A and B are shown apart, each in its own frame.
Chain A
Amino acid sequence: MKKLILLLITVFLLSVNAGYKVERIVTPKGVDSQIGGLDFMPDGRLVISFNYGKIFTYNPATKEWKLFAEGLHLPLGILAVNNHEIMVMQRPELTRIIDSDKDGRADTYMKFNDDFGLSGNYHEFAFGPVKDKKGNLYIGLNVASNNGGILEEPRGKYLSYDIDKEKLEGDYDQKLVKKTVTRMYSCVPHRGWIMKIDSKGNATPFASGVRSPNGLGFDYKGRLLVSDNQGDWLGTSKLHHISEGAFHGHPASLIWKKGWTKDPKKMSTAELNKIRKPAAALFTHGILANSPTQPLLDTTEGKFGPFKNQMFIGEMNLKRLLRFIPDEVNGVLQGTLVPFLDGNDLGNGNNRLAFDKKGNLWVGKTHLSWAGDKGLKKISWDGNVDFDVLKVKQISNGFRLTFTQKVDHKTASEINNYQIQRYNFDYHAKYGSPRNNLKSIKATSAIVSEDGLSVDISLPELKQGFVYQFEVNKLKSNSGEVPANSLFCYNLIELMK
């Protein structure tokens, strides 16, 4: 019997990630708990938008839920302005929701911006807002899917090189639409764009070429990062570094570029490739993530582990959160994605992230009828640091890997303990891409630094336009620990000059 108990305890401990505890938070009874927006008010209350239109506050100290607002149309993003006001991204508009009499229940719902098109296609989700240091807001507008039509009374000018408006409306001919309309389409302005909205509510189209930008966040240098989901024109999911005026790869949005007159469908891939900005990081499909969500900067000053200046990213499809480790080369942001937390305790559907003042990470889940889940989880750190990859930096002939603990010199110096592959993905109209030009690469040397925290890996060559995937499960820390996450992928856009 003792052995059985020991076995059960061992299984239990193995199922909990060392250092991090995941706790399920009970959500309000009678409310579908798919979460589209999550933020903290200055007074410490969590404010959550549930997909079917209700917004609740939750006081973590008293565990009290209170209905704050209701009646919203698929609110998929929330930003707390103060203790009595929030900004919510719902399908038709960005809305200021105000509790003007300060009784904990909102009474005023004012439009902040609706200067974008809405066709009625189900796939035209809207994400954000996030705020930059100057007070500008940014939102992301999904493109439409040819799995659906549009409504007869859309908002915004209709434009399509594929089909007349009437043929997309109501009980449209599904076969015709599938045949003639691109898989994802942008028939009203500015679907497939990131929009910038100033403090007065005026919108400017900021950057084009996104497909499903379900997650916006600023990094430690104030750069806007946006995740985008694998699909047509995305061989694998991406983490874009959004910059003003840039085209980020999905061509449907181009028709709304000022002065644009071409049908993007008639442009060659080479032509499109020439004008697109490569993503900062690539989530290798099936290996790292299948449907990444919100990137959130670690602002906890060490309360959530040693990952300062890095971003945590949600994942809908797999039971996982990831980390983005930035590396700037020749002024270009690129970097490494590594799983951060996996397992049944966390579960999948990880859609929205927010840190509380104590440094706990709160995770809101959703599925929106895709793979995912519902509910709310809270992740807290107990102060123990796992043996894990902390930084990955490109050096002149390879990569410098820095770890959270000193490495075991013997295993870390053995070049065969670094399984390295490089590959890339197709940029094409088809849905997704296999890993192409896959090649195993043998390190030529692995030199451990004097402090024992870093290893310089030299490779025979470094090549632009490739993902470098590392597997380091044979490494050990000098106290004998195996890596908490042994697989990570560096996206090499720029070679050091």
Chain B
Amino acid sequence: MRLFLSLIMILSLTLNSQARSKKKVAKFDPVGKKLFETNCLACHNPIQAIAGPTLHEINKLYEKNANGIVSWAKKPGRKRTEGIAMPAMAHIPEKDLKLIADYMLYAGSRVSRKALRKVNAFKEELGRIQRTFMPNSSVVSFAIKYSDDLSLCWDGEKGITRYIWQGKIDPKTHFTGNGKVIPTIEGKVIFRSSESMFVGLSPKVNYQGYKVSKEGLPIFYYKRADVQFSETHSYKTGNISWKYKISGLNELKIKLPKLNLYKTAANKGSIKNGLLILDKQELKDFTITFTKEK
């Protein structure tokens, strides 16, 4: 019982201290609260953005302007391109809309900074391999993080590296919404391509999947016509390596990629007319490395 009384006292003190604040709306009608919960809460959470803006944000937009909320609710426009447009609340009588608006401002004005900080502090870490839509690539793309300063976009439709950039995906654009926002990349692009480096092979790729190496990077498996590929990505001491195992060919010519500020080399084959040429035996296991120039 003592505990219960203490809780009541704490609650009462909290409410009193909140009521003293000038910016906070002093009171609300419980009917407005009920109407809000029935009609609006599913999309307008006090602190957490779901479909529509939070009550905290609405209070900032419409401070002391409940009628502004009523007008908007009767005939909503569209201010944000993300998510869905708000449906008109014309079926709710105007006096009820006003009660709802008053409650929204009341509740919005009472959102504590601590609660806001807690919500905004959320930061999910992206793994080293992330499938996602990406700019300037096909809809089947992978963001591969070699390091925080170096990432690669791999295109599963073409079976190629589309670009390499000095940074990573902007997490804000990944952890948002329902896919309408295409994640953006942060950092300078140092390599870009839209064609396979394997000369004369079918551009059509049958992407098969990938395994995750101990390093946490992908070993891709794919086929071009009857030619089977495995492609192992590795990143050590600032240098990139792509190790290949290719079967189904007697010879293959490769146009080696050139990365800005990196030196390209292959551990097998010979260079003729600017192309790396590998025979059947060499194709079984060879590595292309990109070493950072000093």
For B133, give its contact among A95, A114, A151 (CB under 8 Å).
A151
Q: Which residues of B contact A123 (CB under 8 A)?
A: 178
Binds A, one of B20-28, B96-104, B120-128, B240-248: B120-128
Q: Is A261 an interface residue (CB 8 A)?
A: no
The reply to whether A120 and B133 form a contact with Cβ atoms under 8 Å apart is yes
Q: Taking the nearest CB of chain A, how far is it from the CB of B180, in angstroms?
A: 4
In angstroms, Cα B179 to Cα A155, docked, is: 16
Interface string of A64-89 (1 = CB under 8 A from B): 00000011111000000000000000
The answer to whether A110 has its CB under 8 Å from any CB of chain B is yes
Please, which residue of chain A has its CB at the minimum distance from the CB of B43?
A: A371
Q: Which of A271-279, A362-370, A440-448, A483-491 faces chain B?
A: A362-370
Contact of A71 with B124 in the complex, beta carbons under 8 Å: no
Report whether A53 and B127 are in contact in the complex, using a CB–CB cutoff of 8 Å.
yes
Q: Encode B85-106 as 1/0 by CB contact (under 8 A) with A.
A: 1000000000000000000000
Query: In angstroms, how far is the closest chain A Cβ from the Cβ of B135?
Result: 9
- Please tell me the size bucket of the interface on A: 35 or more
The reply to whether B174 and A118 contact each other, CB–CB distance below 8 Å, is no
CB of B131 within 8 A of CB of A108, answer: no
- Give Cα A348 to B101, complex, Å: 22
By the criterion CB–CB under 8 Å, are B209 and A371 in contact?
Answer: no
Complex CA distance for A110 and B211, rounded to whole angstroms: 8
Known contacts A52-B174, A73-B131, A111 near B124 by CB under 8 Å? no
Quote the shortest CB–CB distance from A190 to chain B (angstroms): 16
Determine if A148 is an interface residue (Cβ-Cβ < 8 Å): yes
A-B contact count (CB 8 A): 124
In the bound complex, residues from chain A placing their C-beta under 8 Å from that of B139 are: 92, 118-120, 151, 153-155
A107 partner, pick from B178, B180, B212, beta carbons under 8 A:
B212
Chain B residues lying within 8 Å of A109, measured Cβ to Cβ, are 209-212
Q: A52-B174, A72-B131, A90-B131 are in contact. Are A108 and B209 (CB under 8 A)?
A: yes
Q: Is the interface of A mostly helix, strand, loop or mixed?
A: loop
Cα-based distance from A174 to B211 in the complex (angstroms): 40
User: Is B1 interfacial (CB-CB < 8 Å)?
Assistant: yes
- Chain B binding surface SS class: loop
When distances are taken between beta carbons in the complex, the residues of chain A under 8 Å from B1 are 1
Q: Are the C-beta atoms of B51 and A30 separated by less than 8 Å?
A: no
Name B221's closest neighbour in chain A (CB-CB): A110
Q: Which residue of A32, A73, A111 contacts B208 across the interface (Cβ within 8 Å)? A: A111
Residues from chain B with Cβ under 8 Å of A348 in the complex: 42
Q: With A110-B209, A153-B139 as given contacts, are A369 and B50 in contact (CB-CB < 8 Å)?
A: yes
In the complex, which of the residues B43, B82, B130, B211 contacts A71, with contact meaning CB atoms closer than 8 Å?
B130
B47-88 toward A: CB 8 Å interface, digit per residue (1/0)? 000110000000000000000000000000000011111000
Query: Taking the nearest CB of chain B, how far is it from the CB of A33, in angstroms?
Result: 10
Give the distance to chain A from B142, nearest Cβ to Cβ, in Å: 8
A54 within 8 Å of B (CB atoms): yes
Question: Which residues in B have their C-beta under 8 angstroms from that of A473?
Answer: none
Whether A153 contacts B50 in the complex (CB less than 8 A), given A71-B127, A122-B179, A348-B42, comes out as no
List 17 A–B pairs whose Cβ atoms lie within 8 Å, in order of A's numbering: A30-B122, A32-B175, A52-B175, A53-B126, A54-B124, A70-B129, A71-B129, A74-B179, A108-B211, A110-B208, A119-B139, A153-B137, A155-B138, A174-B81, A318-B42, A369-B51, A373-B50
Known: A73-B133, A155-B138, A369-B50. 8 other contacts (CB 8 A): A31-B124, A32-B122, A71-B130, A108-B211, A122-B180, A125-B179, A151-B138, A151-B182
Interface residues of B (CB under 8 A from A): 1, 4, 42-43, 50-51, 81-85, 122-133, 137-140, 142, 156-157, 174-175, 177-180, 182, 207-212, 221
